[in-house]
Amino acid sequence: MIDYFSISSEGVQKNIREGNWLSVCNPTDREKEQLHEAYELPKNFFSLGEKYSHVSFFKKYQTEDEKPHCLMLFINIDSIDEPESRSSAVTVFLTQDVLITVSESPLIDEVLDNYKSEIFTKAGLILHTLQIINEHYLIFLKKQRETIEVISQGTSNGSNKNILEKTTHTEKNLVYIDNLLKEQRKTITHLLDSSLVASDRDLAIEIELQTKQATTSVQIYREMLSSISGLIDSMMDNRLNQLMKFLNTASLLLALPTLIFSLWGINTGGLLWRDSEIGSIMVVLLALLVSIVSGIYLFKKDYDA
């Protein structure tokens, strides 16, 4: 589907057939062919976003007739809960005459809903699209911050399976977003350093600040989560040590009566209570007494001293 818009000093107006901005979403093969014939698009223009959905890109070049063209690729996250499985690329083709964007329709609808009255140039549309994309990242990072707080509170009450799953899932998401932001920041830097956004310098500065905030936040949250993960590992090690201490103590307490019973089972003379009618009971009582005394001593002993 192709939507035609006109961007001018009067704002953005939707047209029926012609315009200087073409918003493309899920185009048919016929529509792709029409656009390739009408504009000097790269051969793989419509497949770039599908083949390289995790890569950001900025390239300025000239065609044989020396007309300047610009090709851009940005990464958007469509889902706050599952960013890795729901990320998509926004492909942008810019010339002096026309701007072509290939993206999911909800993104373009969100740009128009929020900034339609503020878009007067093609560069302004690109920057406002980046502004929405950055807002998606910041919303995602805010949710990760809330999740880290839940994990931190959970560790104070003792680690459990749910906390460990949340920690692993959050850490995976932050690693993924961290790499996307690092890749995209390079592209945004190239764009903001170019002459394309000279007329929208204030908005360009805001985009740069948004990008820095997102990249800084993800680094902070990764370090916070790393410290919490270290605490969880220490708690698990401590629990394991306590369990091993208990098992070793129990093994020793079981070994003492076994030793006593073995000694009184020797088939030689001279054993105490051998000829007594209550000899067996005395041996059992002796083993029980030794186990109780040893148990009290071992459980009271401070092994950390």
Report, as an integer, the average pLDDT of 133-139: 87
Report, as an integer, the average pLDDT of 165-177: 81
> What is each CA distance from 249 to 46, 238, 240, 291, in whole angstroms?
69, 16, 14, 11
Model pLDDT, residue 268 = 63
Tell me whether residue 24 is exposed, middle or buried, using C-beta atoms within 10 angstroms of its C-beta: 0 to 12, 13 to 18, 19 or more: buried
pLDDT tens sequence across 33-64: 888 877 777 778 777 777 777 778 888 777 66
Asked if residues 151 and 170 have their Cβ atoms less than 8 Å apart, the reply is yes
Model pLDDT, residue 305 = 46
pLDDT over threshold 60, residue 72: yes
Report, as an integer, the average pLDDT of 146-175: 76
Report, as an integer, the average pLDDT of 73-91: 74
Model pLDDT, residue 152 = 76
**Whole-number percent of the chain with pLDDT over 90:** 0
Asked if residues 59 and 191 have their Cβ atoms less than 8 Å apart, the reply is no
pLDDT tens sequence across 88-109: 778 888 887 888 888 877 888 8
pTM score: 0.72
Asked if residues 39 and 98 have their Cβ atoms less than 8 Å apart, the reply is yes
Burial per residue of 85-111, b for 16 or more beta-carbon CB atoms within 10 angstroms, e otherwise:
eebbbbbbbbbeebbbbbbbeebbebb
pLDDT tens sequence across 198-211: 777 888 888 888 88
Nearest to 107 by CA among 84, 80, 82, 136: 136
When the pLDDT of each residue in the chain is averaged and rounded to a whole number, the result is 79
pLDDT over threshold 50, residue 32: yes
pLDDT over threshold 70, residue 10: yes
pLDDT over threshold 50, residue 196: yes
**Whole-number percent of the chain with pLDDT over 70:** 86
Model pLDDT, residue 66 = 67
